[in-house]
Amino acid sequence: MGMALAWAASPSLLIRYTLLGMFNAVMPPISVYLSAQLVNKIANARIHATHFQDILPLILGLWATIIIQRSVGAYIGYGRNLYIRRVELEAERRLLAKAAKIDMGHFDNSDWYDRLSRARRDVSWRPGDLTWSVLGLSGNIVTIVLMAGLLASLHWLLVVLALAASFISLAIESRITSRLYKYFYKETPEERERQYIGDMFVQSRSIKEIRAFVLGDYLLGRHHNISEGLFKQRETIYRSGARISMLSGIVSGTILGLAYVFVAIRGIAGTIDPGGVVLVIGAFTAVSGTLGQITSTFVAVDQHTTFLDDYFSFLAIDPLLPVPADPRPIPSGTISDIVFDNVSFSYPGGNGPAVENLDLHIRSGELIALVGENGAGKSTLVKLLLRFYDVEKGTIRIGGVDIKDMDPEILRSRIGVLFQDYATYELSVKENIVMGWPYRDIEEERIAKALKDSRSEWLVKKLPNGLESKVGRLFEGGHDLSGGEWQRLALARIMYRDADIWILDEPTSSLDPEAESAIFAELKENLKGRIGIVISHRFSTVRIADRIAVISDGRVTELGNHEELLKAGNRYAELFELQAAGYR
């Protein structure tokens, strides 16, 4: 799987640098062999007259191998760095592309969320690290085979010793890394909490409250306790890691010592000539060095398996909501109606139904308001209409077509929604608006109309660079906006989108009352056959709607226009009177 990713990033680069790596891996054995020959020639010079020209070819050969090895090595290093970045970028692109599409329900599952945040955290380096070590493997094998061949030409025992030293350290050291990784894997929920608390100190949403409630010491204390607990666990693991490393060093160092003993005895006895001694020492060192690299490759692969598992299982995550193979189109033009027909739904892991046996018929061209107490199920209706979740019972139909039979992305393209917790894009004002539908050419006229419909023209005039002004404080030169100003931009974004259904979930919570009633009046006027769904707790706003549905415990308990509901004298009338009394 991992290799498929490496291949997809750039097959030609992968092949080129693998072949070059294998070519370069031949250089060290040649170099060791030529050095041995050189030592023999020099030793022989004491017995037989030797001219410099006799050894010159050897020197030139050694020179050439070093030059080739170093320069090709530098080129490989450059190319591999680029290639590895490609792999990292490709891995990240795939992850983000998947994250943008998976069903919202997955985000309610903390196991998936853990997996995603781990994969997201590591995707910027683990695929690269893995590719880097695996790329060197073929070259390492070439070097080992040739070096082992050189050693075997002297004595098989040397090959056995060299391999033994490296395999023992492989076995010992891989234990440390797997333990380390298990630890990092396990700590995720605590580490997430620690980071979450740390973030509170720097996020604009919470910094004010930390001061106002004097929460600094309390939160720091909590952060400190988690950090200390994690530090202690880490200390234990690092300590045992250090002990294991020491043990591995002693074992492999001793085996290396034995090889030197063997070579020394043979050298003194004259059964190995001086060049042979050089060859043994050079080859032995190279074999254990290269086997060390192979060891770390295996360790790296082992280390990254959990990441790869997280990453690929995330990419392979199945949709929760079945997408029809042959989706039915939404009738074009104005939507004739939206019907919630006996709908029931419970959140996965939630306590009890959020919506139960709910019936609601929304007519073409009307502005309908949903009111009800906190947690009554109003926002859930919006999420069901957007098909973030599938209903458990009943159906939702738009223009007579069950939304389960539609392509969810096409369904969403017909809806413009302003969530309660709408997004604030710290980009330019223009982009904030254009993100309403960024897939067509930018039309200045449309932007101007969106600003007018959301009554935000003054906001653009106020900013120094007009539409091009950056908003937010994340980037240099950005202007921070007030809550109401951000909300205006979000509203302009909805107006820019050419949607047939407008949904505003508490659109006016940060707006001043004058702006609120103006926006509502304008919204109603601009509907022009569209369906508008507004969720609000402000009855002064709600009364403008054509009809009002009171939602209570996941059901529609009252339905009608303001006057009708007041006359009925039920919960709506009660709540309206309560709010109205506050203004008298």
Q: Which residues here bind ligand ATP, judged by CB under 6 A?
A: 108, 347, 350, 354, 372, 374-380, 420
Q: Identify the residue whose tokens are 């002297």.
A: 154
Q: What are the b/e assignments for 185-217, b being 16+ CB within 10 Å?
A: eebeeebbebeebeebeeeeebeeebeeeeeee
- Rounded (5°) CA angle 294-300-305: 130
CB of 472 to ligand ATP, least distance (A): 25
Query: Residue 316 has which token pair?
Result: 């392979």
Closest CB to ligand ATP among residues 144, 535: 535
Q: What are the b/e assignments for 63-101, b being 16+ CB within 10 Å?
A: eebeebbeeeeeebeeebeebbebbbebbeebbeebbee
What's CA 165's distance to the chain center, in Å? Answer: 40
CB of 556 to ligand ATP, least distance (A): 12
CB of 506 to ligand ATP, least distance (A): 7
Closest CB to ligand ATP among residues 130, 551: 551
Closest CB to ligand ATP among residues 272, 354: 354
CB of 350 to ligand ATP, least distance (A): 3
Q: Treating both helix axes as pointing N-terminal to C-terminal, what angle do 216-269 and 188-200 enclose, rounded to 10 degrees?
A: 130
Closest CB to ligand ATP among residues 395, 509: 509
CB of 403 to ligand ATP, least distance (A): 18
Closest CB to ligand ATP among residues 378, 488: 378
Start-to-end CA distance of the chain, whole Å, equals: 69
Closest CB to ligand ATP among residues 379, 428: 379
Which is it for strands 367-371 and 393-398: parallel, antiparallel or unpaired? unpaired
Closest CB to ligand ATP among residues 376, 499: 376
Which is it for strands 367-371 and 555-560: parallel, antiparallel or unpaired? unpaired
Closest CB to ligand ATP among residues 453, 558: 558
Report the C-alpha gap between 410 and 254 in whole angstroms.
Answer: 69
CB of 107 to ligand ATP, least distance (A): 8
CB of 562 to ligand ATP, least distance (A): 20
CB of 359 to ligand ATP, least distance (A): 17
Q: Which long-range contacts (CB under 8 A, 24 or more apart) does 149-154 make?
A: 149/29, 150/29, 150/32, 150/33, 150/279, 150/283, 151/279, 151/280, 151/283, 151/284, 151/287, 154/272, 154/276, 154/279, 154/280
